[in-house]
C-alpha cells in the first residue's frame, strides 16, 4: 500500500536536513535494507534504508533541497505496486503535487520560489550581460525586457542560498541536477573555480555625486580586495556549538608536560613490520582511556538533573576536513588494542574527508582529543565539545633541555592542556587525572596492559 516517506530526524534536535541524492530512480524496486535516499545533516551524510521491500512511486524533493524534518520526501509502495493517478493520491495524503509552488518550499530565509518551479527559478541574464552583472530580480517577478524568450534557471533552495551569500550569479553556474537543475555541488564547484581564478565579485555601485564618489574611491583604495566564502553546514554547526559551550560551560584549565622519549621508542617498536602504523596520537588516546579508568570521576557528563557517570570510555577524536572540524567517537577505547585504535582513527579520517561519517558516530563521548603537534604547535587550549566534560589539547613533541637527577640533558617533551567543565568535575579530580595521564605517557608499557 502506498505511503509517504518522510525526512527522518537523524540528529538530535535537528529541524532540517538536505536531501543529497536519490540512489534509485522513480519506479525502481528495492529490497529491505537497500539505501533509498541519502541525507546530509550538519556534520554527516546518512543513508536512509528501506524497512521493507517496495518501489519508489514518486520523489517529491529535488536533490540538494533543504527539507524540514518530518516533511514528505517521496511516495513509496509495496512490491510491484502502481498508482495510476499520483496527483490524486497526493491530494488524498494532503500533500501538494511537486508541480505546485506550495510543495517543498525553500528552507527558512530562502526567497520564495517561482510558480513554475519546484524549488525556485530566476530569470537569467541575457548572453550579452556585462562582466559585473546587475542584480537579478526576485524569483517569481518580471525582470527587464529582453529580446527573445527568457531562459529560466532552476535550483535547489540550498544552492540558491549558497549562491546568494557568495554573490555568485546564476548564469556562471552549470547545473548537473535533474533537467539541468543547479544543486549544492554545482555552487561549490563554481566557487572553487572562481577562487582559483582569483575573481572578486562586487555589486554594482549606486549613482553618487562627485564628492561622494571621490570619498568612496579614497576609502576603497585603502581597503584590500577580498572573497567571501559561504559558511558550510559543518562550519555553522561548529560555530554554534562552540559559542554555546564557551558561553554556558564554566571552563578551567590544567597544563602538564611529559617526557615522551620512551613513548616514541614504543611507537617505533610497534610499527616495526606492522601492517597498521600507530601514531603518537593513537597512543595518547589509549593513555586518555587509561587515565579515565584510574580516575572514573572524570568519565562523566553534566545533565540538567544529574551527573552521568559511564562505565566504558568513549573518546572523540578531532579531525580537520575541508568543510570544517568533526569529532567522531571511538567506543570502549579501554578494550581496544593500540593497532585497532589506529585503524579506527584512519577510517574515521578517510570517511570524514569524504563526508561519509554517520550521525551516530558523532554523538556521545565524555572527552575529546585534539592534536596540533604535527603543525609544530607547542601549547594551546581547546573549547570543550558539549555535552562532554573535557578536551585534551596535545602539542608537539620537541627536544629541549631537561633536568634529571640534578643533571642537565636533552629530552623530548610534550605539553598538553586539559580544558574541564567545572560543573561535573572539581579541580582536584582533574589534577588527579592529569597526574595519571602523564604517568601513563611516561611509562607507556602500562598503556598496552
Instruction: Give the cell for residue 338.
Output: 593500540
Please classify residue 62 by burial: count the beta carbons closer than 10 Å to its beta carbon, then call 0-12 exposed, 13-18 middle and 19+ buried. buried
Tell the residue number behind the cell numbers 540538494, with chain if given: 64
Q: Among candidates 302, 308, 322, 276, which has minimal Cα distance to 386?
A: 302
Question: Does 174 fall in a domain?
Answer: no
> 183 lies in a domain?
no
* Tens-digit pLDDT profile for residues 43-93: 677 788 898 999 999 999 898 888 888 889 999 999 989 888 888 888 888
Q: Pick from 232, 229, 238: which is nearest to 190 by CA? A: 229
Query: Which residue is listed with cell 512490491?
Result: 79
Backbone angles phi, psi at 244, to 5 degrees: -60, -40
pLDDT tens-digit profile of 437-446? 999 999 999 9
- Does residue 139 lie in a domain region? no
Q: State the Cα torsion 403-407-408-412 to the nearest 10°.
A: -50
Take residue 118 and report the three cell numbers written for it.
519546484
Give the model confidence (pLDDT) of 369-419 as tens digits: 999 999 999 999 999 999 999 999 999 999 999 988 888 999 999 999 999
**Annotation marks residue 422 as catalytic:** yes
> Tell me, what CATH number does 438's domain have?
3.30.559.10
**pLDDT tens across 137-175, in order?**
344 333 333 334 445 567 766 677 778 777 888 777 888
Question: How many domains is the chain built from?
Answer: 2
Q: Which of these three, 67, 93, 119, is where a domain ends? A: 93
Q: Is residue 411 part of a domain?
A: yes
Instruction: Evaluate if residue 214 carries a pLDDT over 70.
Output: no
Instruction: Check: pTM over 0.85? Answer yes or no.
Output: no
Candidate list 231, 251, 292, 422, residue with the active-site label: 422
Q: Where does a domain end: 93, 120, 142? A: 93
Cell 528552507 -> residue: 107
**Is 127 inside any structural domain?**
no
Give the number of other Cβ atoms within 10 Å of residue 100's Cβ: 13
Indicate whether 125 belongs to any domain: no
Q: Is the pLDDT of residue 219 over 90?
A: no
> Residue 233 in contact with residue 158, Cβ under 8 Å?
no
Assess contact for 366 and 310: CB atoms under 8 A: yes
Please report which residue ranges of 121-255 form alpha helices under DSSP H: 157-166, 184-197, 210-221, 233-248
* CATH classification of the domain holding 15: 2.40.50.100
Alpha carbons 31 and 16: distance in angstroms, whole number: 27
Whether residue 107 lies inside any domain: the answer is no
| 159 to 25, 133, 163: CA distances (angstroms) | 22, 19, 6
Of 32, 58, 93, the last residue of a domain is 93
Domain-located, residue 190: no
Structural domain for 439, as ranges: 251-448
Reading the block at residue 68, the C-alpha cell is: 524540514
Q: Tell me, what's the pLDDT at 422?
A: 97
Amino acid at each position: 500500500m502506498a505511503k509517504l516517506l518522510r525526512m527522518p530526524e537523524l540528529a538530535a534536535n535537528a529541524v532540517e536536513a538536505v536531501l543529497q541524492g536519490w540512489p534509485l530512480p522513480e519506479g525502481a524496486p528495492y529490497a529491505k535494507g537497500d539505501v533509498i535516499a541519502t541525507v546530509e545533516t550538519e556534520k554527516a551524510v546518512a543513508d536512509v534504508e528501506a524497512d521493507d521491500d517496495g518501489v519508489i512511486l514518486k520523489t517529491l524533493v529535488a536533490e540538494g533541497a533543504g527539507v524540514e524534518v518530518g516533511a514528505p520526501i517521496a511516495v513509496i509502495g509495496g512490491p510491484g505496486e502502481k498508482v495510476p493517478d499520483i496527483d490524486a493520491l497526493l491530494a488524498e495524503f494532503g500533500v501538494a503535487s511537486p508541480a505546485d509552488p506550495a510543495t517543498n518550499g525553500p528552507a527558512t530565509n530562502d526567497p520564495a520560489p517561482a510558480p513554475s518551479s519546484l524549488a525556485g527559478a530566476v530569470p537569467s541574464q541575457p548572453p550579452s550581460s556585462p562582466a559585473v552583472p546587475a542584480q537579478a530580480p526576485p524569483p517569481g517577478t518580471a525582470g527587464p525586457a529582453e529580446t527573445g524568450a527568457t531562459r529560466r534557471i532552476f535550483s535547489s533552495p540550498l544552492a540558491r542560498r549558497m549562491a546568494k551569500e557568495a554573490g555568485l550569479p546564476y548564469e556562471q553556474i552549470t547545473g548537473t541536477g535533474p533537467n539541468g537543475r543547479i544543486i549544492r555541488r554545482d555552487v561549490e564547484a563554481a566557487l572553487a573555480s572562481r577562487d582559483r581564478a582569483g575573481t572578486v565579485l562586487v555589486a554594482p555601485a549606486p549613482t553618487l555625486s562627485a564628492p561622494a564618489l571621490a570619498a568612496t574611491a579614497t576609502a576603497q583604495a585603502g581597503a584590500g580586495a577580498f572573497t567571501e566564502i559561504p559558511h558550510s553546514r559543518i562550519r555553522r554547526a561548529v560555530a554554534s556549538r562552540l559559542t554555546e559551550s564557551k558561553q554556558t560551560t564554566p571552563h578551567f584549565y590544567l597544563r602538564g608536560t611529559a617526557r615522551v622519549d620512551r613513548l616514541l621508542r614504543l611507537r617505533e617498536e610497534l610499527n616495526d613490520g606492522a601492517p597498521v602504523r600507530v601514531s603518537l596520537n593513537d597512543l595518547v588516546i589509549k593513555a586518555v582511556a587509561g587515565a579515565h579508568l584510574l580516575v572514573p570521576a572524570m568519565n562523566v557528563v553534566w545533565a540538567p538533573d544529574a551527573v552521568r557517570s559511564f562505565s566504558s570510555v568513549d573518546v572523540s577524536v578531532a579531525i580537520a576536513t575541508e568543510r570544517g572540524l568533526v569529532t567522531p567517537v571511538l567506543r570502549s577505547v579501554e578494550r581496544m588494542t593500540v593497532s585497532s585504535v589506529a585503524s579506527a582513527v584512519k577510517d574515521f579520517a578517510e570517511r570524514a574527508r569524504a563526508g561519509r561519517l554517520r550521525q551516530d558516530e558523532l554523538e556521545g563521548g565524555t572527552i575529546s582529543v585534539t592534536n596540533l603537534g604535527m603543525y609544530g604547535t607547542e601549547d594551546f587550549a581547546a573549547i570543550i565539545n558539549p555535552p562532554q566534560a573535557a578536551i585534551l589539547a596535545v602539542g608537539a613533541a620537541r627536544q629541549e633541555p631537561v633536568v634529571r637527577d640534578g643533571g642537565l640533558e636533552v629530552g623530548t617533551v610534550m605539553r598538553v592542556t586539559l580544558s574541564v567543565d567545572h560543573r561535573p568535575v572539581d579541580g582536584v579530580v582533574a589534577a588527579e587525572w592529569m597526574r595519571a595521564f602523564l604517568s601513563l605517557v611516561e611509562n607507556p608499557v602500562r598503556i598496552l596492559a
